[in-house]
Structure 1
Amino acid sequence: MNPIRHLPAASVLLAFAMGCTLPGEARAQATCLGPATQDALYDDTVACGAQSEATESGAVAVGSFAFARGPYSTAIGFGADAWTRGSVAVGTSAQVHGIFGVAVGRASWSNAEMAVAMGYEARAFGSYSLALGANAVATADNAVALGSHSQGNRSWTVSIGRLGAERQLVNLAAGTEGTDAVNLNQLNAVAATASAAAAAAQDTADQALGSAQAANTAASNAQSTADTALSAANNAQSTADAALAAASGNGAAAANAQATADTALAAAANAQSTADTALGVANSAQSTAEAALAAAGNAVGVANDYTDQQVAAGVTQANDYTDTRVAAGVTQANAYAEGRAAAALSAAQSYADAGDAATLASANRYTDQRLGAITQAFDQLQLEVWDRFDQTDKRISRTGAMNSAMAQMSAAAAAIERSNRIAVGVGYQDGYEALAVGFQRAVRDNVTVTFGASISGGERSVSSGLGVGW
């Protein structure tokens, strides 16, 4: 049976195009030739290039020092290394350490399950992460870093830049669903709506201020009413003063009556003198004179009694009337003025104070709540971002130093042609050192066993390998 019939066409074409030879065994195996080339060890494997190895079934290693170590893995390029099942490493020093991972580009590195790194020194360290672009880094699970030097360090996020080197996302359609991104036009519309709401709130505040001013006007009107009532009280006081003056006039009339009585008394005295003269003339004239004198005395007593009674009654009545009217007028005026003024002022102050206090309290409460929530959210976000950056930088540096140490240890052990090989490698990256120690034992000419370990700070890495050739 011709074994070539059982080989995939691509393997046959690749073997002939590169000057490779196929073994005569009846199995699907192809071994490409070159200086110090290692044989492909399993079915359907291809190894082409100096020191290249394809050590698992279906593995392909093309290029000097290319290693396809996982089942169905592919390593193409100088120093390309595909360690795990279904992994693909394309480019000089491309490295894949996670199952089904992909690394394309010089010094690209996929270090987690199904992680993809494409571009010069691209790094994909999170499971299912994607780093696309030169020096792009995706360190979190399911993170995506797009573009040169972009960093994706949060799970389930897409990054198009890094801190201090952000990019703009242009030509973005307006979002239509709850989880869609929004563009600047949509934000401007929201800002316009917010401005309109703020204007409406300002109008409400202006209206409240106008109401307060109206209340102040009402209070001023109430004060005017109180002033009018006070003026009326003053007029009543003037009326009372006039009544008192009238009473004083009645007292003057009584004084005039007393003067009339005095005049009558003087006349009686004159009559007495006339009577005395007449007495000297005749006795009958004496009797008449005495009778006239008695009548004059009675008239004086009656006049005095009447005058005193009328004066006292007039003064008492005038005083009582004046006091009553003045007291009633003043009391009524004061009560009316004070009641209206107090009611108007109380209503105006209550209305203005209640409106202003409610508006000011609501505005202050809303402002304090919003500012407090925004400040707390930004502070928490800043702390989380810096903490994640610090942890990620440390792990990247330590892992890089460990990988460098392991690579140097492996290279040192591979160059010794003895049964027992011990190698030590050191690595350094961004201030972190790593140490790697390995032991390799050639059990037989075609069987080797390898053990290795690396350490850097709190990071540890242990590896072992078995090589069989025939």
Structure 2
Amino acid sequence: MTQRTTQTAQAQSGIPYFRANSNGPDASASGGGAIAVGTSANAQVGDAIAIGTEAIADGEHNGLAIGTTAHASSYYTVAVGRGALAAGPRATALGAETVAEGDHSLAAGGSASAPATFSTAVGTRASAADEGASAFGRSAKATGFYSLAIGTGSAASEDSSVAMGTKASAAAPGGVAIGGGAKVFADRGAALGSDARAEAVDGVALGAGSVCDRKRAVSVGTQEATRQIVHVGAGTDGTDAVNVEQLRQMLADVVAALDQRLDALDARLAAIEKEN
């Protein structure tokens, strides 16, 4: 076998367990210890890894880009998936078209977006758009400062707001909406239960379909659909709730006192009649 024949056979067989089929531009690994695999893959900095067609790892320190056009552009960033972008320091983007641009941000799931510092978005089209915001679920959106949205289509749009449940919405600062379709419209309101609504400041709506429209009040229903509150302990302070048993005892005490007064009055009248 001639040398040319040997070289041709080696080229056709390639490295065992590894194959590449492309006529595009070569990969480039210009950083020390860098690794680039794929057409136009580019690992530009030390210890960077770029794997996939046009994958780029050009941020400082150990960037990792895996997938067609994946891009890890800051230090200690990870971008995995077609078109994934990890642009903030220590950001992680996992999934096709995910974007993690904030410092220490995390975006996971198709088209998830975490553009702010310490933001976390997990789920298809989930978005965490303010510092410390977290969104979990398909199309969940946390757009307030340190807000939290959990559930498909949930939305926590104001600072420190919490929305948990399918299409739950906390649209006021400090609001808490828990349950499918639960909604908070006023500052520090709480809606707990499916389709519960807190419409007044510091109002609390408890139970499915409950509405609180009075400031600093607690509602367990609506004007049309009321509920009982059961198993309530006896009140002891002036601002405590009173249960039915206490009312019965109070009524019994009033009747007994009235009977005593009437008995005393009868005795006095009898004495007057006797004197006359």
- Pairwise TM-score range, normalised by the shorter structure: 0.5 to 0.7
Question: In 2, are the aligned partners of 1:98 and 1:110 still within 8 Å (CA)?
Answer: yes
Pick the aligned partner of 1:98 from 158, 177, 194. Answer: 158
Bigger radius of gyration among the two: 1
Q: Deviations over 1:292-350 (max 9, x none)?
A: xxxxxxxxxxxxxxxxxxxxxxxxxxxxxxxxxxxxxxxxxxxxxxxxxxxxxxxxxxx
Seen in structure 2, the aligned counterparts of structure 1 residues 24 and 78 have a Cα distance that, compared at 3 Å, is closer
Question: In 2, are the aligned partners of 1:66 and 1:75 still within 8 Å (CA)?
Answer: yes
User: Helix, strand or coil: the match of 2:135?
Assistant: strand
Name the structure where helix makes up a greater proportion of residues. Answer: 1
Query: What are structure 2's unaligned runs of at least 5 residues?
Result: 1-60, 65-74
Distance in 1 (alpha carbons) for counterparts of 2:86 and 2:170: 37
Distance in 1 (alpha carbons) for counterparts of 2:84 and 2:143: 25
User: Helix, strand or coil: the match of 2:257?
Assistant: helix
The yes-or-no answer on 1:32 pairing with 2:102 is: no
Question: In 1, are the aligned partners of 2:107 and 2:120 still within 8 Å (CA)?
Answer: yes
Shift of 1:201: 3.4
Shift of 1:104: 0.5
Query: Structure 1 stretch 157-166 or stretch 101-110: which is displaced more?
Result: 157-166
Distance in 1 (alpha carbons) for counterparts of 2:224 and 2:257: 35
Seen in structure 2, the aligned counterparts of structure 1 residues 25 and 116 have a Cα distance that, compared at 3 Å, is closer
Greater RCO (CA < 8 Å, at least 6 residues apart): 1
Q: Note the 1:160-171 alignment, pairs <5 A.
A: 160-171=220-231
User: Helix, strand or coil: the match of 2:205?
Assistant: strand
Match of 1:79 in 2: 139
Q: Note the 1:371-390 alignment, pairs <5 A.
A: none
Match of 2:129 in 1: 69
Question: In 2, are the aligned partners of 1:23 and 1:29 still within 8 Å (CA)?
Answer: no
Distance in 2 (alpha carbons) for counterparts of 1:205 and 1:25: 91
Scaled by the length of structure 2, the TM-score of the pair is 0.64
User: Helix, strand or coil: the match of 1:61?
Assistant: strand
**One-letter code of the match for 2:94?**
C
Match of 2:13 in 1: none
Shift of 1:114: 1.0
Distance in 2 (alpha carbons) for counterparts of 1:160 and 1:190: 26
Scaled by the length of structure 1, the TM-score of the pair is 0.39
Query: What is the aligned residue count?
Result: 206
Question: In 2, are the aligned partners of 1:2 and 1:26 still within 8 Å (CA)?
Answer: no
Q: Deviations over 1:19-64 (max 9, x none)?
A: 6898687921112222xx2522222222233443222112122223
Match of 1:146 in 2: 206
User: Helix, strand or coil: the match of 2:92?
Assistant: coil
> RMSD over aligned Cα, in angstroms?
2.9
Question: In 1, are the aligned partners of 2:86 and 2:93 still within 8 Å (CA)?
Answer: no
Name the structure where strand makes up a greater proportion of residues. Answer: 2
Question: In 2, are the aligned partners of 1:21 and 1:30 still within 8 Å (CA)?
Answer: no
Distance in 1 (alpha carbons) for counterparts of 2:182 and 2:200: 14
Seen in structure 2, the aligned counterparts of structure 1 residues 25 and 163 have a Cα distance that, compared at 3 Å, is closer
**One-letter code of the match for 1:99?**
D
Match of 1:172 in 2: 232
The yes-or-no answer on 1:189 pairing with 2:189 is: no
Identity %: 33
Distance in 2 (alpha carbons) for counterparts of 1:111 and 1:44: 26
Shift of 1:173: 2.3
Match of 2:72 in 1: none
**One-letter code of the match for 1:44?**
H
Query: What are structure 1's unaligned runs of at least 5 residues?
Result: 219-470
Distance in 1 (alpha carbons) for counterparts of 2:241 and 2:155: 35
**One-letter code of the match for 1:60?**
T
Question: In 2, are the aligned partners of 1:32 and 1:48 still within 8 Å (CA)?
Answer: yes
Distance in 1 (alpha carbons) for counterparts of 2:169 and 2:146: 15
Shift of 1:213: 4.6
Deviant stretches of 4+, over 4 Å: 19-26, 211-215
User: Helix, strand or coil: the match of 2:99?
Assistant: coil
Match of 1:43 in 2: 103
